[in-house]
Amino acid sequence: KAGVTQTPRYLIKTRGQQVTLSCSPISGHRSVSWYQQTPGQGLQFLFEYFSETQRNKGNFPGRFSGRQFSNSRSEMNVSTLELGDSALYLCASSGGRNYEQYFGPGTRLTVT
């Protein structure tokens, strides 16, 4: 099976702009979770989507949003970008009974 794919892999934006990141899960997986990874804060949970519904949400401001489509592909949107949003954004898909997660390669977002 093909793994989790994320596009784009690298992105440079300026403060105040918005950005949309995409994630395609492993075929058959219905759960997609998003994480932000930074050197200072580590891996932080953003949200999880399951069957097009947000099932869990982390402690991030409303500028961070997401959605999931009927084919389980997911997008994450960040509006009004701030310098502190610079990070590696990882998505992970789950399909097993115990929700082991398989991560994509990530999108490296740099905000200048």
Partner 1 sequence: QQPVQSPQAVILREGEDAVINCSSSKALYSVHWYRQKHGEAPVFLMILLKGGEQKGHEKISASFNEKKQQSSLYLTASQLSYSGTYFCGTGPSGNTGKLIFGQGTTLQVKP
Q: Which residues bind partner 1 (CB under 8 A)?
A: 31-33, 35, 42-45, 48, 50, 55-56, 58, 90, 92, 94, 98-106
- CB of 89 vs partner 1, minimal distance in Å: 11
- Taking the complex as a whole, the smallest distance from the CB of residue 80 to partner 1 amounts, in Å, to 25
Question: Which residue type sits at 81?
Answer: L
What is the spatial distance between Cα 74 and Cα 52, in angstroms, rounded to a whole number? 9
Nearer to partner 1, 8 or 17 (CB): 8
Q: Which residue, 56, 60, 92, 93, is CA-closest to 77?
A: 60
Cβ nearer to partner 1, comparing 20 with 88: 88
Residue 17: CB minimum distance to partner 1, A: 25
**Bridge partner list, 66:** 76
Shorter beta-carbon distance to partner 1: residue 44 or 79 = 44
What tokens does 27 get?
């075929």
Contact call for residues 85 and 37 (beta carbons, < 8 A) = no
